[in-house]
Amino acid sequence: MQTERQIEIIEAALELITEKGIQGMTIKNLSKKIGITEPAIYRHFESKTEILLGVLNNFKEMAVMISGLMENYEAVAMEKISFMFSKMLDLFSEHPSIVSVVFSEEIFKNEEVLKTRIVEILNLHAQTIESIVEKGQLEKNVREDIDKESLALIAMGSFRLLVKRWDLNNHNFDLSIEGKKLINVISKVLKK
């Protein structure tokens, strides 16, 4: 459980990432932004890596929550995937800096703890979508001629590419509108 100060530090870190990119999120810049000393930050987090891990842990908690919702959500497969992707689009639109952290696996290659957490999040999302697809195949509302892993990969890969393109283009298009278009296309690809 994070303390109020840890939550404040994580939120300020996300703001810094939005303003200056992930490399601009330094302990020095963070202390200036919050108005506390660098040693005060180190009383709450041992390092920049631990702060980023806090961001990823929060995102993983959301992924676990969404996965649980999908298990109990009574709807056909595409409604579930649409709901899941829509919630993620809302989150990314409200907090674009999360994209910079969660989709920065190439930056974290040498930070094993961060890389591991990102892989856990990716695998959790993949398992959730595969489970939805498998149930849809059993219910005969998702195509059965392609395996669940490949269909999940198509859905996740296209979604990730859209979000990454939005981020790299400095958010110069409406992610929600383009996301809805993509969800409709994914629906056509998955439907039986």
Structure tokens at 186: 């994914």
Q: Does domain 51-190 have CATH number 1.10.357.10?
A: yes
Domain range 1-45, CATH architecture = Orthogonal Bundle (1.10)
Residue-wise pLDDT for 53-94, tens only, equals 998 898 899 889 989 988 888 999 999 999 999 999 998 998
Q: pLDDT digits over 8-37, tens only?
A: 999 999 888 888 888 888 999 999 999 999
The reported pLDDT for the residue numbered 97 is: 82
For the chain, residues classed under CATH 1.10.357.10 are 51-190
- Paired strand residues for 191: 142
pLDDT over 90 at 123, yes or no: yes
The pLDDT of residue 104 is above 80: no
Locus of tokens 């996300």:
14
Mean pLDDT of the chain: 91
Place of tokens 């674009």: 96
Residues of the chain with CATH 1.10.10.60: 1-45
